[in-house]
């Protein structure tokens, strides 16, 4: 069915997208108003402050409330920022802090290994690249843009993140269809689960030709507060420069930097691993 307005005339092709964007903007403005007010506000007060109609503001508040982004006081019916805004703020703050702390280590990794260095953080069991330091020494540079989300089952960052995630997250992500990026991508669930155990023991993962033919990545974990995964450091390059298995010096440089970062984040995971003879991290539920 084609989109139509109240009089039955067809809307422009981009009308639906335009309306969606406007809805998002109104929702963001509501959150901004509540944040600036630093107190609960009623529907009428919000509508007046934003120059919008009460029904429109009420509709958006209902949606925001259903997602935990606003709460409603049962006594006054006024709205305030919800628990999920705090949760998102906490997550964003820790990620930005990690990126700031990791920057000198990214430079060190790039300069010592002469490859592109990458920092990723876990989001619901999947990695997201938040910073990278491109190789400035090679005539051809393989780069990874911040915001990139490698697949959890057939990438080094993905399997590393999955390996140190709770079992419930592993089960959820591995229960869906596992698509292949290349003919070499790991997509068999039993093979992946066996690999996750190896990663937890060896503290690194690589993925030659699995994401892109001719490209390899080796990644290591960053921990916080004991053995909680905070992120991952990685290098990415051609298979000529990162063999399978990776060179010992590549793993050593990455692990040394990850260990120092982990110590800054109140984790002795690497030191504990050395004391225990390279024993792996126990699985969490």
Residue that is written with structure tokens 């699995």 in the block = 210
- E-strand ranges in the chain read 70-72, 79-81, 116-123, 126-133, 205-206, 215-224, 228-238
Pair (209, 259) in one structural domain? yes
Pair (133, 251) in one structural domain? yes
268 assigned to some structural domain? yes
Is the pLDDT at 236 greater than 90? The verdict is yes
Tens digits of residue pLDDT in 151-169: 999 999 999 999 999 999 9
Pair (72, 95) in one structural domain? no
**Residue 5 — pLDDT band, cuts 50, 70, 90?**
very low
Of 57, 81, 105, the position where a domain reaches its end is: 81
**DSSP result, 219-244:** EEEEEETTTEEEEEEEEEEETTTS-S
Pair (159, 132) in one structural domain? yes
280 assigned to some structural domain? no
Pair (62, 187) in one structural domain? no
* Structural domain of 40: 15-81
Pair (100, 215) in one structural domain? yes
pTM, two decimals, is 0.69
Structural domains in the chain (count): 2
* CA dist list (Å): 207 to 64, 193, 245, 280: 40, 15, 9, 20
The stretch 124-151 carries a mean pLDDT of 91
Tens digits of residue pLDDT in 59-77: 999 999 999 999 998 889 9
155 assigned to some structural domain? yes
* CA dist list (Å): 179 to 122, 124, 187: 20, 19, 7
Peptide bond into 245 cis (omega under 30): yes
**DSSP result, 132-159:** EE--SSSSS-----TT----SSSSHHHH
Is the pLDDT at 283 greater than 50? The verdict is no
Of 81, 99, 122, the position where a domain reaches its end is: 81
221 assigned to some structural domain? yes
How many angstroms separate the first and last alpha carbons of the chain?
46
């Amino acid at each position: 069915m084609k989109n139509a307005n109240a009089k039955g005339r067809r809307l422009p092709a981009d009308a639906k997208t335009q309306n969606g964007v406007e809805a998002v903007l109104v929702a963001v403005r509501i959150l901004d108003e509540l944040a600036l007010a630093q107190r609960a506000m009623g529907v009428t007060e919000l509508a007046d402050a934003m120059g919008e109609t009460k029904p429109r503001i009420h509709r958006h508040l209902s949606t925001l409330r259903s997602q935990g982004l606003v709460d409603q006081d049962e006594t006054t019916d006024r709205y305030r920022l919800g628990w999920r805004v705090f949760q998102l703020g906490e997550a964003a703050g820790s990620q930005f802090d990690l990126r700031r702390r990791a920057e000198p280590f990214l430079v060190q990794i790039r300069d010592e290994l002469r490859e592109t260095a990458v920092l990723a953080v876990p989001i619901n069991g999947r990695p997201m690249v938040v910073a990278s330091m491109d190789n400035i020494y090679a005539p051809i540079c393989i780069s990874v843009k911040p915001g990139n989300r490698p697949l959890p089952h057939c990438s080094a960052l993905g399997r590393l993140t999955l390996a140190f995630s709770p079992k419930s997250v592993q089960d959820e992500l591995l229960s869906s269809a596992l698509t292949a990026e290349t003919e070499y991508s790991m997509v068999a669930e039993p093979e992946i689960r066996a690999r996750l155990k190896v990663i937890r023991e060896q503290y690194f993962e690589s993925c030659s030709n699995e994401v892109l033919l001719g490209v390899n990545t080796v990644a290591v974990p960053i921990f916080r507060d004991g053995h909680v995964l905070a992120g991952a450091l990685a290098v990415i390059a051609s298979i000529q420069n990162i063999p399978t298995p990776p060179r010992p010096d590549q793993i050593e440089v990455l692990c040394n930097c990850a260990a120092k970062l982990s110590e800054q984040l109140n984790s002795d995971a690497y030191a504990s691993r050395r004391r225990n003879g390279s024993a792996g991290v126990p699985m969490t539920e």
